[in-house]
Amino acid sequence: MDTAQQQQETRRQATLLDGKKISEQVRAELKSEVEAFRNEYPGFRPKLVAVQVGERSDSSVYIRQKEKACKEVGVEFEHVQLNEDIQQEELDAHVDRINHDNSVHGIIVQLPVPGHLSTRHIVHSILPSKDVDGFHAENIGHLSKRATEPFFQSCTPLGCIELLRRYNIDVSGMDAVVVGRSDIVGSPLAMMLTNLDATVTLCHSRTRRLEQKVRAADLVAVAVGSDEFIKAEWIKPGAVVIDVGMNARNDATRKAGYRWVGDVEASVREHASFATPVPGGVGPMTVAMLLSNVVAGAKRQHAEAAQMAIVPRALKLRTPVPSDIAIAGEHGPKPIAQLARELNLGAGEFEPYGAFAAKVPLSVLQRPSAEGRSARYVVVTGISPTPLGEGKSTVTVGLAQALYAHARRPAFACVRQPSQGPTFGIKGGAAGGGYAQVTPMTAMNLHLTGDIHAITAANNLVAAAVDARRFHEATQTDAQLLQRLCPRKKGAARTVAEPLRRRLERLGLGECSVDELDADQVRRLVRLDIDPERISWRRVLDTNDRFLREITVGEAASERGMARKTGFDIAVASEIMAVLALTSSLADMRERLARMVVGFSRAGEPITCDDLGVAGALAVLMRDALSPTLMQTLEGSPVFVHAGPFANIAHGNSSVVADRIALQLAGPRGFVVTEAGFGADIGFEKFVNIKCRASGLTPDAAVIVATVRALKMHGGGPDVVPGRPLPEAYTREDLPLLESGFSNLRRHIENVRSLGVRPIVAINAFDSDTPAELALVQRLALEAGAYDAVPTHLWAKGGQGAEDLANTVIRCCEDDEPATASDSFRFLYTDDMSIKQKIEIIAKQFYRAGSVSYSEEAESKIAMFEQCGWAKMPVCMAKTQYSFSANPALKGAPEGFDLPIRDIRASLGAGFIYPLCGAMQTLPGLPTRPCFYDIDVNPDTGDIQGLF
């Protein structure tokens, strides 16, 4: 074949690498991919943010093109337009904010930027995981390593590779020449071709014998930005040519006055087997690959959100078991930043409080779940306890340790924050115990992140506002009140605060100007006319102090005639604590705080915090407390510590938001172990009927913690008194006494099953328990309908002592035959029942009471609450934890008793009514020998001693 024939054959074989057509295919595929992913996971929202400094017209055109392309494939787009004179640190702050926004999966800064800004600095200020342009040194650097991969590859060279792939051009073994060594195109393209097993020569302006090298190449890629720099005759016949260049050449014959030419002569098509056209070749592929990178980044983040790393810490078990504080001192926790990384929390998703605790914001809940469901949900409850407690917190923490460190499943424990009252009183703290505890236990049991202090401050602000409003209404005329509440400065309109605007609306005066109100309307606006005899709001403190249960306020000379009787509750009994535990968001919390009722007017109208104008301030005080506190167990598994309502006087469960965030982070293979206070007649009942009703969550299993000691007490054993040695009945084998007391556990098993939840009995074993006693409890529990009954040794062995329990929990939660717990889960009562119906269903079905009696005050309040329309709320029984009845001395499983309701209160913010049964106190007192006798600080080291 002569030369002319060879040239004709080359022209006939040349194929255009049509970037426009391929980019349209890529976009269509991405659109389908995003739609399919979103159908399966509705929260999936890929997002690109483009930052533009200044208003260059060409940059604005490129931004609009990218925005249009994003919308086409279903990628959200945000354009951040910044002033041209912005300083570097201001720009850094904008980029940093976007870096830490987990709803954003890709960031680009449109280049060029004004000369006073550093392009290199900007490029490297974007997180590599969001650098969808692929410009960051870390991303480019990983291209040169065969053992690692970058988060993203540069879009233009990636577009070149995609063209080769789509046209089935195998570059393996080819001699390739890349002309141009920019960080944006040439260098990364050379590395990509090398990774595809081409032999690559990277040429640049100083390369000698460039023509010779190009003539020998099977593939030539050119990105030099120079008009037809590479001559067509240099190209070897049959070679592949990728022309990245886009150069404007003056052309008077064109309407625009110019035409686009590449870095390679257009006649190269007569030599090459494949060649990219200009325009319509590489250019369209750049934007397509940008979109591909954004979608890939969103899917990667989506998958990583459910890939919690399991990094256990080994325990140093010792015999005899040292004190809790000694064990905690021997097991240093991971730095909180390390734990956050293991949970895939971004820098903007946790706020450290010291080295070992952090607040986790509710924004984490905005992440889409990586699978069709979240983690398994397990609630830990117990039998009616002795005053020593049966180790429910220890089992909660130890089970999480066993699931995490031994079963190697993602696992969270969600526990309540301990109150200072019990910590310094009789019970001690609530960090678990022995080798199953939250660490650092000193931080957890003391101030931690200040949530209880915030609740105390907020609660007492309301109390101060109530009495202040009474005082000012008693000492001022309507006109004076109006001027102070809605001040008017000279010549200006009155200032009407938002709470007063809302009050106008509630009074039916929303359309009126304050100045248009008549005398009666002004009076209704400015006077709450609080009835001092019907103020329900009490002050709180986080200390056991019996002498503040009943007090008189307003005794100072300046408040003559304003004295009234009131009292204090323990801080964790505050309605604000219950609001924190049941809320779902900042907006929801703000609304709940506003509707809290503090008392009634003399006309019988409820007075809310919004009427007092204090709701916004409460939300400010509580804003930071809304985020749960992240800590860890001794074995390194994550723990959320949040809220702390008592179960005997409140609903007794950790927060809804902590459970929700944990379920999100643990992922579909994970487990969330949440604790419900005291026995199942109190904590579990409220978990189901109040917490689950509010959250919409459904438990997969319930663990009922029991001890041989407590069962013997319920069988008629002698009193268990803190601070005194246990009677011999509890330290020697006594099977008849144990079997007699099993009636209490049987009742709890029956109650849990009655609500459609599978009960697992965890026997918290002590050294004095005999094998025969443990075997008896196991047999009786199975006969009573428990899914299983498992002895545990958490206090002495940590997670290792609960491996059997962990395996049982996994088996129970993943056993869907014959029906899952969620299929049959149900509430004990419906919303539309009356208040008395709800009380009596709980009393008769859960407690087995024969009757319920109501004091005159309780009867009056029930009638008033129903008249106010509050009957649809659930009921939160305030009752002793030591018995199914209201009498703590009535042990075992009593039946047919009368349950006395002496008072009833409404918590509209929390969303429940709570009756007080018997002599239930809402502020505990200190014992003869409180825990604080043993607590001190080493003045030389600063170490806390004797906390436990």
The answer to whether the beta carbons of residues 155 and 290 sit under 8 Å apart is yes
* Cα–Cα nearest to 671, from 944, 414, 321, 879: 414
Tokens of 368: 């889409």
- DSSP-derived letter for residue 281 is S
H-run or E-run covering 758: none
Alpha-carbon distances of 588 from 17, 155, 823, 864, 875, rounded to whole Å: 56, 43, 29, 26, 20
Alpha-carbon distances of 208 from 199, 204, 214, 220, 287, rounded to whole Å: 18, 9, 11, 16, 34
Tokens of 101: 């926004």
* Cα–Cα nearest to 578, from 684, 640, 652, 683: 652
The answer to whether the beta carbons of residues 899 and 843 sit under 8 Å apart is yes
Q: What angle do CA 934, 938, 940 make, to 5 degrees?
A: 170
CA gap 312, 804 in Å, rounded: 18
The answer to whether the beta carbons of residues 667 and 370 sit under 8 Å apart is yes
Q: What angle do CA 595, 583, 650 make, to 5 degrees?
A: 80
CA gap 364, 804 in Å, rounded: 33
Beta bridge partners of 107: 49
Torsion, CA 28, CA 30, CA 33, CA 39, rounded to 10: -90
Residue type at position 840: E
Dihedral sign of CA atoms 923, 928, 931, 937 in order: positive
CA gap 649, 496 in Å, rounded: 39
The answer to whether the beta carbons of residues 670 and 658 sit under 8 Å apart is no
* Cα–Cα nearest to 746, from 841, 884, 880, 890: 884
Compute the 3-state secondary structure of the chain and give helix, strand, coil in percent, each to the nearest 5: 45, 15, 40
The answer to whether the beta carbons of residues 239 and 272 sit under 8 Å apart is yes
Question: Residue 541: what are its φ and ψ, rounded to 5°?
Answer: -150, 160
The answer to whether the beta carbons of residues 826 and 876 sit under 8 Å apart is no
CA gap 551, 531 in Å, rounded: 18
Q: Which residues are catalytic?
A: 66
